[in-house]
Amino acid sequence: MEYRRLGRSGLKVSILSLGSWVTFDTQVDDELAVKCIGAAGDAGCNFFDNAEAYAGGKSEEIMGRAFRELGWPRWSYVLTTKLFWGIHGDVPNMRNTLNRKYLMHAIDGSLERLGDDFVDVVYCHRCDPDTPMEEIVQTFTEIIEHKKAHYWGTSEWTADEVRSAIDIADRHGWHKPVTEQSQYNLLERRKVEKEFARITDDFGYGNTIWSPLASGLLTGKYADGIPEDSRGALEGYEWLQDRLSDQDVIERVERLRPISERLDCSMAQLSLAWATKHPMVSSVITGASKVEQVEQNFAALDVIPKLDDDVMGEIDEALGR
């Protein structure tokens, strides 16, 4: 396993990591969570991602119980969560916000569900145009100084919003965000490769990317429709179905199959390995509903050395880039 610095911080994270979006509670119970996290740890993973909003807080609870069952020393892994959406219904100050009142309640709630005293990184799950950026940066500085988190980051912010937060932090001597969490995969590249290029150059901003398999589309399993046991068939995720059944996109993805077959890997492994090749990516967050999926995903580590410039060019050509 390769470990990369999270931006310009000194924190090192595994190049492949494990997240709980969609899977924990929906598809993964306590017993399976222990096995999946354990399998990831066996592969060298030290970075585990969660969020307050995942399964209405139940995902954090399951992950917290899994770590206690595994008995790993707390210093041996990096634990993260994200705040913004809220889980208390349509209540003023507790939903879709980053105001100080919400954040102070939310971080305590996440830590209680995780059964931990701190997270290593706390992310803003989205930006909040209704809260002054100065209030956001100051509050995350206080969260860090109160030892409830070691670092803070952003998720799906614009480059301008990140730059504003960093400028305010520099002006006041507050803690700066160190990493973004953007969607990035073979089909969705603009934000990481274009919009955030200058932010990375100027500030060394990290990125722990999500949806590296485009919600499973890049695995090739949707070529013949949406399988009953897949993410696209889950209740509450109907919004994915149009994309997962887009025949034009499916045909483009299928052009990757000969490349993966020649490299003796799955299309999922090819896509995960590809995502690690970008120097702006600190870690690629994987998801899995079975231990076998965890093991198969982390086998992408063996594919990374095979992706030389010629193969990377061939992948782009296959997708019409």
* pTM for this model (two decimals): 0.93
Domain formed by 3-216+268-307, architecture: Alpha-Beta Barrel (3.20)
Domain residue extents for the chain: 3-216+268-307
Cβ pair 296, 40 in contact under 8 A? no
Dihedral-angle region of residue 281 (phi above 0 means left; psi in -120 to 50 means alpha; beta otherwise): beta
As a whole number of angstroms, the distance between CA 255 and CA 239 comes to: 25
HSE-up of residue 35 (Cα within 13 Å, Cβ side): 13
Dihedral-angle region of residue 44 (phi above 0 means left; psi in -120 to 50 means alpha; beta otherwise): left
Indicate which residues carry an active-site annotation.
Answer: 54
As a whole number of angstroms, the distance between CA 207 and CA 279 comes to: 10
One DSSP character per residue, 7-73 reads TTSS-EEESEEEE-TTTBTTTB-HHHHHHHHHHHHHTT--EEE--TTGGGGHHHHHHHHHHHHHT--
Coil/strand/helix, residue 164? helix
Instruction: Encode the chain (321 residues) as per-residue pLDDT tens digits.
Output: 999 999 999 999 999 999 999 899 889 999 999 999 999 999 999 999 999 999 999 999 999 999 999 999 999 999 999 999 999 989 999 999 999 999 999 999 999 999 999 999 999 999 999 999 999 999 999 999 999 999 999 999 999 999 999 999 999 999 999 999 999 999 999 999 999 999 999 999 999 999 999 988 999 877 655 666 555 555 655 556 566 667 788 899 999 999 999 999 999 999 999 999 999 999 999 999 999 999 999 999 999 999 999 999 999 999 987
CA separation (Å) from 140 to 52, 68, 69, 123, 176? 16, 27, 30, 9, 9
HSE-up of residue 309 (Cα within 13 Å, Cβ side): 0
How many CB atoms within 10 Å of residue 173? 7
